Amino acid sequence: MNIEFRGDFLERLRRVNKSAFLNRCIGQVGVIAVNFSKERFVQKNWADRNRETWAPRKRPARGSILVRSARLKRSIRKIAQGSYYVYIGTDVPYAQIHNEGGNINKTVNVKAFTRRTSPRRTRNSRGRNEGGGSTQNVKAHTRRMNIRMPKRQFLGESALLNRRIERFLSKELDKEISRNGA
């Protein structure tokens, strides 16, 4: 992610100890970027210059988009940090297909399992469901998957994130200048 600073930011940066200032602030910039990415799960959109709303779920009653166990959201963190950079990302294997969208075409092996079936349910006098179900054994088999995954971006370049980082660094730089009297 490249940030272009406006105004007299670079001039003000020359007036302080640049390496000490950036070393102190780079970790906080990473926190801002991680929080921005986690915000996408709450707002269900990607915010760059425009806001791109995520495609809705096919079955809306199944919960929030991209959050079933919250593993993906919790896994977003700082991956690497240096003197002038910070990388954020995730190690969850399915993160890339959700972030970029795409097609999944492959054959998967399904293990044998027992399925519980239920006949048409009726209500008793107390309003409770009654009627028993039976079980059905399903043999192990292979299944062909052909799924189109919509793009639901939560990581990447964002003009809005760049502005947040620039505002943060500008405020911190002003504090540093006033502290040092430079």
Q: Using one digit for the tens of pLDDT, what is the confidence trace for 140-175?
A: 999 998 989 888 898 989 999 999 998 998 888 888
**Burial grade of 112 (CB within 10 A; 0-12, 13-18, 19 or more):** exposed
> Which pLDDT score, from 0 to 100, does residue 7 have?
58
> Which pLDDT score, from 0 to 100, does residue 42 have?
86
Average model confidence (pLDDT) across the chain: 82
Contact at 8 Å (CB) between 176 and 14? no
Q: Using one digit for the tens of pLDDT, what is the confidence trace for 119-148?
A: 666 666 666 666 667 889 999 999 998 989
- Left, alpha or beta for 179 (phi > 0: left; psi -120 to 50: alpha)? alpha
- pLDDT top residue among 70 and 37: 37
> Which pLDDT score, from 0 to 100, does residue 179 have?
75
Contact at 8 Å (CB) between 109 and 120? no
- Left, alpha or beta for 178 (phi > 0: left; psi -120 to 50: alpha)? alpha
Nearest alpha-carbon partner for 76 in 85, 84, 66: 66
Instruction: Count Cβ atoms below 10 Å from residue 182 Cβ, excluding itself.
Output: 11
> Which pLDDT score, from 0 to 100, does residue 31 have?
93
**Sequence-distant (≥ 6) Cβ neighbours of residue 34 within 8 angstroms:** 76, 77, 78, 88
Q: What is the pTM of this model?
A: 0.72
Task: Assess whether pLDDT exceeds 70 at residue 33.
Answer: yes
Report residue 86 as tokens: 């910070």
> Which pLDDT score, from 0 to 100, does residue 127 have?
63
